[in-house]
Structure 1
């Protein structure tokens, strides 16, 4: 936050316009020309878009603006992110479904199986419950900031303004890289998901990734409205699937499935797996080898689930990023934010509780659970155990849709973040190119080109997994850093708001948990980083691993942390005063 808070508030508080709305630059293109001409012209830069602040001084050597705050012009960055020219076409229904869709994906449908196998059912519920509290506090803080400042870049812009330009620079690029890498990873995951059906295995994986890449890129070239409509449909499908599974799971647990038999909470107790359990008859495990119980691998197992749970919620913050393109963020965003608590309770806690009573943690089919192996989904395994034919394929389609939804969000998240960084002179200015349809065109193209990394599947599954895992390690902790920064930015915002003599009653939306909630969220995020370090440096069974294996696993899990610290340390960062 700059020293003159009121000046920034007039430029960015809301949007800097008397009616609270930013200009709809994307709506100013001509409509009387032939459609072919309009189509071509739509890719041209919007002539009304504010590209840079008039009369701002530019360093001829670095190209960075020279302002009054240690070399960074906060006022200019605030003005440009407030008036970016992005199309404001997202309706309330889009915002609500983006909030839902961002929290339901492969983290819930697939990797929760690895969490169950690693820590047991009690660890699964405890860890996801704690991370649910973390996310509730974080999203509440984000909601307050985003309603007051619905600017391009959202949380990366908040880090720059309220914390430190160097930290904002590091957070923005780390978040952009996260989504840039996720695109090829999810496209490969989608192609592997198809291996669930034997017939799909006969088709070259390169053909599948080509189809998925074209679909995802095409959606994003329809602009924010295309992204919003796609996520609206994807989210509805995922919500229906989760609710359907909860109902089915209750029926199966009570003995209503084809295979019958009341299950109850038997798998929460030791040595309660029956000899006719599907893991033996279908999974092929040795008789008596499937363990059960509340906990597995002790406290370290709980910490491992803690980390997995945190990554499962990645993407929930996208609703804040989308606020800059909402037609009425002060109305639609609070509604979406207020429903987060119930979504966490229903979609995560209830569904995972159902999973925990249907499958023992010792089921070997869970051990392959990863974001690229739908066969290890605990949801699919539970349905298979019940002997319901056809339904596992239906749920696998849902998992495929969830994977494509993440891929769709990856282009959106990376392109908007890159465009905002360019607006703040923290990225090449070419990324700030906004066309007449309100699309960050160059950033979308850049993200789409990096999607071509999905063709590493041509080198075989082992080569693909190795390459993509190392790429993803560069930003594997991105969400944790982002969430912690949101909480800290909210704390700083409240301090600045009070220092300038403002009342909380002036805010259009207030966090339901206030500053205390932001402190809780910040501390929990820090604990996740500590837990990740511990489980990465000393993993379960590390005594049986070689030194090279331990080192490789550690850097795959924690490489992002030293990268972020190095970026912040090597970047000039002025002190921000109120």
Structure 2
């Protein structure tokens, strides 16, 4: 490793690291003395200095608390990925592409998810900061791109939380209890804001429980589906692979022949991207995670397998249970009654499954709201740290919660009261679809950050073995996945360009995010005169010095007994 006492470039400025591991404050960088990885209080500097450093800042290490464990991160990604898309919308995938077409589409997207997870893990393990890849973009790409992606995420999450409240209202109506929507929204508001204002560990434990519930239910549905398919339900004959033969493994979409079958496959693949949305949020609270340089990589590599296995099994079983031409799949995802699992259970004489699915989907909606609030508030806090949002958002409680950020989201949740008007529900779902392409923008940013990190290391003469976590294949998987994500982004609304299928709302929801992010990027670049970060100026030496100066805390011994250990395969 290069001598840590020598000066190094950082954003075009000389930064010296003294023998104590601190950064020269007079050069405008936050102190890094004793020891930021453990979350201890550091020397106090004015917030004005914080936005000059691309690494951990005084404000983060002084105000936020490291309370999230590795099991929280792993289950956080599971909870975010297994949601309404899995329980309600798989039927639409089967209808669009057929059982084999859907399975192949999810396999391709699974590769992209794997590449994104590993790219995020390698970068976040080196630079574990609040806001994750948003801050990495400023360090590795261009401060203007960090601004654009950051505000795009804040905007998307501000809209997403009230939409989840609206979804809960619709789901509760399924039971016909006559509970007024305003009461449902009030309960949702109290629960969501309560978790958001609590210690981050409370959030971790809530999502941990949600993930266990959802994983258990997915396993139950898969096993139930296999039992139904094999004819082990009294009075029901075996289905086997009947629907793979008739109506067939593929479905034609828009066109006919092989081209039509390919378009069906592609339409499902672009939709499958959003089913996996959420895995990228696991590092958003990296500055609030214990031993992030070990916990984040563990969560990334272990969660991927679980998520893909659950989805692949679920898609396969759904393709066995319901034929692609079943008219009940029309509009799949609008109500619980159109879930393929529910259709199959009702055919087998088990009507109670609908209520179970509905209950679990309600917990999924609340879980999604919690995650949107956490991701949105931490990105907003990170933007404020970098001088890209008002400084008032830097205020935190004594237990480390950015309460002004949470307060802003609490106000937006009240917008869900508009759902008391039936027509407003459609408007809200349209609004959230506008941000759907933001998932692909985030994935592209993660992959590009990683590509730039490896290029900077090569340019500055560092071996990849110096990274806290690295896998040789990511040098190839990240560029390939980046190109694939860009293709997904550009073809997300391809159906509107085919003859007779123009839909203005679909066109806007598929592509509006591109000019929104581009405009934000150009605005910040023009007003602040930013430039693309030179590979020579990426502050790698500072990052590597931090790793050596401040190693991880020793982990406490693990309890090898009890039900928690029996389930620990999910995260460990």
TM range (shorter): 0.7 to 0.9
Q: Do 2:105 and 2:269's aligned partners in 1 also have CA atoms closer than 8 Å? A: yes
4+ residue segments displaced more than 4 Å: 3-12, 15-20, 47-51
Deviation per CA, 1:57-81: give whole Å up to 9, x if none: xxxxxxxxxxxxxxxx653676357
CA distance in 1 between partners of 2:473 and 2:217 (Å)? 31
Q: Is residue 2:37 matched to residue 1:21?
A: yes
CA–CA distance in structure 2, aligned partners of residues 99 and 51 of structure 1: 35
- Contact 1:111-1:308 within 8 A present in 2 as well: no
Deviations 1:130-171 (A, max 9, x none): 111001000001001111111011010011111111111110
**1:437-448 alignment, distance < 5 Å:** 437-448=399-410
Partner of 1:520: 480
Change (3 A) 1:145 1:84: farther
Following superposition of structure 1 onto structure 2, how do residues 219-258 of structure 1 map, counting pairs within 5 Å? 219-258=195-234
Relative to structure 1, the CA distance from residue 359 to residue 506 in structure 2 (aligned partners, 3 Å threshold; closer, same or farther) is same
Aligned runs of 1:241-390 on 2, under 5 Å? 241-271=217-247, 293-297=249-253, 298=260, 299-370=262-333, 373-390=335-352
Secondary structure in 2 matching 1:152: coil
Per-residue Cα deviation, 1:208-253 (whole angstroms, up to 9, x for no partner): 1221121111111112112101100000001101111121111111
CA distance in 2, matches of 1:329, 1:167: 24
Residue 85 of structure 2 aligns with which residue? 107
- 1:217 aligned onto 2:193: yes
- Rate the CA distance shift 1:76–1:129 in 2: closer, same or farther, 3 A: closer
Offset, 1:124: 1.2
Count of aligned pairs: 507
SS of alignment partner, residue 64 of structure 2: coil
Matched, 1:457 2:399: no
Which sections of structure 1, spanning at least 5 residues, go unmatched? 26-46, 57-72, 272-291
Q: Does 1:469 align with 2:429?
A: yes
1:148 aligns with 2:145: no
- The superposition leaves residues 419-478 of structure 1 with CA deviations (integer Å, 9 ceiling, x where unpaired) of 001101111111122221110110001011101111111112x22212x13432442211
Aligned to 1:195: 173
**Farther off after superposition, 440-449 or 243-252:** 243-252
TM-score between the two structures when normalised by the length of structure 1: 0.82
Deviation (angstroms), 1:49? 6.6
Between the aligned partners of 2:284 and 2:385, the Cα distance in structure 1 is 15
* CA distance in structure 1 between the aligned counterparts of 2:268 and 2:448, rounded to whole angstroms: 25
Closer/same/farther in 2, CA of residues 107 and 511 from structure 1, 3 Å limit? farther
Counterpart CA distance in 2 for 1:170 and 1:407 is: 22
The 1:11–1:525 alpha-carbon spacing in structure 2 relative to 1, beyond 3 Å, is farther
Q: Is the 8 A contact 1:109 1:379 kept in 2?
A: yes
TM-score, normalised to structure 2's length?
A: 0.83
Q: Distance in 2 between matches of 1:87 and 1:373?
A: 40
Give the structure 1 partner of residue 100 of structure 2. Answer: 122
**Structure 1 residues 81, 520: closer, same or farther in 2, change over 3 A?**
farther
Distance in 2 of aligned mates of 1:259 and 1:396: 26
Q: Are 2:162 and 1:184 aligned?
A: yes
Secondary structure at 1:434's aligned position in 2?
coil
User: Which blocks of at least 5 consecutive residues in structure 2 are unaligned?
Assistant: 1-9, 25-30, 254-259, 537-572
Q: CA RMSD in A?
A: 2.6
Matched, 1:487 2:447: yes
Distance 2:156 2:198 in 1: 23
Q: Aligned pair in 2 of structure 1 residues 341, 415: CA closer, same or farther (>3 Å)?
A: closer
2:70 counterpart residue number? 92
3-state SS of the aligned residue for 1:314? Answer: coil
